[in-house]
Copies of this chain bind each other. A is one copy, B any other.
């Protein structure tokens, strides 16, 4: 068992790592050459231009203004300064709601930590159970936990009261937050500009008809059944082949660019290639001419293919985007059942055009059921067999295990620093590395399941990732052994035994989770702000590939918040905090630091870096709420198990009330607040319609909605056609930039400050 000094050492390491990251970040972000890595959001918004054009040669790459290095943490107050409404404008509601998850953590755990430290810690500390058990090694940390209270003591009533306080406080905060987010969402939807998805409904599973094509069918069906509101429709095409061609052309274009680049650096010699297998042998030709020719051919092919796709009825998918004259009509159509057969003519509110995941629009209903079943089974196996390698590494990370396995390393391991390092660091890192692989697998699974919008895909991934983390990180860290072993032992244990088994181990694992929080939470978050991977990739690309301003723009990779991995990680901290709040309150400060730090860092990243891929107007909040409620119930059950082994049996019935109340609370919230995240109220649609008609009585929506939901490949193909085959290289061309409000990094928020004053 790790002692207090081990923990202190690990804390020191992690704090130093975090600080190192912060300092590195502070230095790197001030260099103009990194500007596009650390402020890509502003470039994408067109509010910032390349700093390279101004100043001397050195100042193009290195910031020589030493004053700016002094206040190396000044990005923190800057990150906090932008007010919420402006942030919604700047980065979308999703980002703001995402930040509220961190705030939720602070709101829940700060009062709980205060009370735990003023009440629980003295109650636990002033016992001497652990002192009496001479044969057990224990650390001072354990003296702060519930382990230090003798079995059958009446002091457990304090823990019981604490459990009640935690439950009521958490529910109170959750309810208020659900309400706030719900009204933010409604306000956001109401204040929005006219957008195509407000008028559009996605229709899927259009039944085949021998006499009519899908397009005719859609038109007839909606003209008959929504006669007063139907406006137009947009067919969905199966554009896989076209997509392939466009991809292929892009690759060729890259090669062409490469050779043109080469040629422009050394104009005297035109590059040549061999056109045989893999470019290794065969006839030698002029590379630029070769690629120009190939691209020309492909572009013609693409245009032809596009016409085939649009004109042929075979490439029509049994789905369509149907637009209505008013929002009211779209809302009505999306919320009602159209046909007798509830698996045909399925309507739902269309996601934003950029949010649509096109590949899944054509899946028929039966296939969806089968796919879901298959994925459920696959996920079960993934969860319970993925653990085997992790467990292997974790046993390695055990000091005694390592000494046994590689006895010649014993002298090295016995050195105190190394020992502390291994104990404090390795188990957390091993787990973390394995978890990095997972999200992409989960995303593939979700795609296979047939969700039709990127936001739904990410939400599904998040919920799977959470389950995975709960079983494989939380449970498996508390009780040693693989998930499979545990599943087996749980199946062979009684329902009352399971919470006891887990509950008893909880206080003993506090130190492990403290190190985990420091590695994964503190250092991890600090690493997030440094953006080491995008930094390296950007500079590599910049050095080898970038020629034009457009290329440079493509080279910068702002990334997104990454809801599918970020949210489950936060949820792990919620569950740790709630479970340990009444058991070992020493964990709470570490969690609070995590939430605070992460809030600042992610707020900074959202303002300066991340570029949102879609806007779901906070549609993920019900998931967040539900998972915190689950964490609360788990914490109650585990405390029940723990107390019942401590012979505080009289308190068990009182604890049993808590999960029942919590479930009741959840049902209430689900009915009261969830519909806002799923449906759009008729009243709001009517208000917006009326306003619009008053302002613009002669509004013609048809052109506005014409091509809103065209497949992105068509747009790409159209662009190609407009580009007129091949661009001539223009290395000195300056892109048309929007006049920027913000030139210097030091004046970064002057714009927002102006708007404020």
A: residues with CB less than 8 A from B are 186, 224-226, 228, 331-332, 335-343, 345, 365-366, 369-370, 372-373, 377, 490-497, 660-661, 663-664, 667-668, 671-676, 679-684, 686
Contacts and interface: CB of A to CB of B under 8 A. Distances in A.
B672 A340 contact: no
A369 B686 CA distance: 30
A672 B377 contact: no
Contacts of A226: 682
Contacts of A494: 490-494, 497
A309 B342 CA distance: 44
Given A365-B671, A369-B668, A369-B671, A340 B684 contact: yes
Contacts of A341: 672
A84 B342 CA distance: 26
A645 to B, nearest CB: 14
Contact of A686 (B224, B372, B674, B676): B224
A739 B451 CA distance: 63
Contacts of A493: 494-495
B369 A664 contact: yes
A165 B675 CA distance: 42
6 contacts: A224-B686, A337-B679, A338-B681, A342-B674, A369-B664, A492-B495
B336 A336 contact: yes
Nearest to A372: B667
B338 A335 contact: no
Contacts of A684: 340
Given A225-B686, A228-B228, A369-B671, A340 B676 contact: yes
A617 B494 CA distance: 44
A11 to B, nearest CB: 40
Which of A336, A366, A377, A496 has the most B CB atoms < 10 Å from its CB? A336
A370 B663 CA distance: 11
Nearest to A366: B668
Contact of A342 (B336, B338, B369, B671): B671
B664 A337 contact: no
Contacts of A683: 225, 338-340, 345
Contact of A491 (B335, B342, B370, B495): B495
A672 B339 CA distance: 12
A511 B338 CA distance: 52
Q: Chain A at the B interface: mostly helix, strand, loop or mixed? A: helix
Question: Taking the full assembly, how many copies of this chain does it contain?
Answer: 2
Contacts of A680: 337
Contacts of A495: 490-493, 495
A668 B340 CA distance: 16
Nearest to A227: B686
A680 B339 CA distance: 9
A225 B682 contact: yes
A664 B496 contact: no
A205 B680 CA distance: 19
A671 B228 CA distance: 29
Contact of A681 (B337, B664, B672, B674): B337
A671 B225 contact: no
A676 B337 CA distance: 9
A123 to B, nearest CB: 30
B682 A337 contact: yes
A676 B492 contact: no
B340 A336 contact: no
Nearest to A336: B335
B672 A343 contact: yes
Given A335-B337, A492-B494, A495-B495, A342 B660 contact: no
Contacts of A331: 336
B667 A369 contact: yes
A331 B686 CA distance: 18
Nearest to A674: B342
B377 A660 contact: yes
Contacts of A336: 331-332, 335-336, 679, 682
Nearest to A373: B664
A341 B491 CA distance: 43
Contacts of A228: 228
A342 B676 contact: yes
A680 B338 CA distance: 9
A373 B660 contact: yes
A448 to B, nearest CB: 16
Contacts of A338: 681-683
Given A225-B683, A492-B495, A495-B495, 10 more contacts: A228-B228, A331-B336, A337-B679, A338-B683, A340-B681, A366-B668, A369-B664, A372-B664, A493-B494, A494-B497
A551 to B, nearest CB: 47
Contacts of A339: 681-683
What are the 5 closest A-B residue pairs judged by CB atoms, nearest first?
A342-B675, A373-B664, A369-B668, A492-B494, A337-B679
Contacts of A345: 683
Which of A226, A373, A490, A680 has the most B CB atoms < 10 Å from its CB? A373
A8 to B, nearest CB: 42
A337 B674 CA distance: 12
Contacts of A672: 341-343, 365
A218 to B, nearest CB: 14
A331 to B, nearest CB: 7
Nearest to A342: B675
Nearest to A345: B683
A300 to B, nearest CB: 45
Contacts of A366: 668
Nearest to A347: B682
Nearest to A368: B671
Contacts of A372: 664, 667
Contacts of A186: 340
A684 to B, nearest CB: 6
Contacts of A370: 664
A664 B340 CA distance: 23
Contacts of A661: 373
Given A491-B496, A492-B494, A494-B492, A337 B373 contact: no
Nearest to A380: B660
Contacts of A369: 664, 667-668, 671
Which of A228, A331, A341, A372 has the most B CB atoms < 10 Å from its CB? A341
A373 B666 CA distance: 11
A339 B673 CA distance: 12
A675 B337 contact: yes
A18 to B, nearest CB: 43
Contacts of A224: 686
A87 to B, nearest CB: 23
Which of A186, A225, A340 has the most B CB atoms < 10 Å from its CB? A340
A338 B494 CA distance: 47
A192 to B, nearest CB: 15
A671 to B, nearest CB: 7
A225 B680 CA distance: 13
Which of A345, A675, A676, A683 has the most B CB atoms < 10 Å from its CB? A683
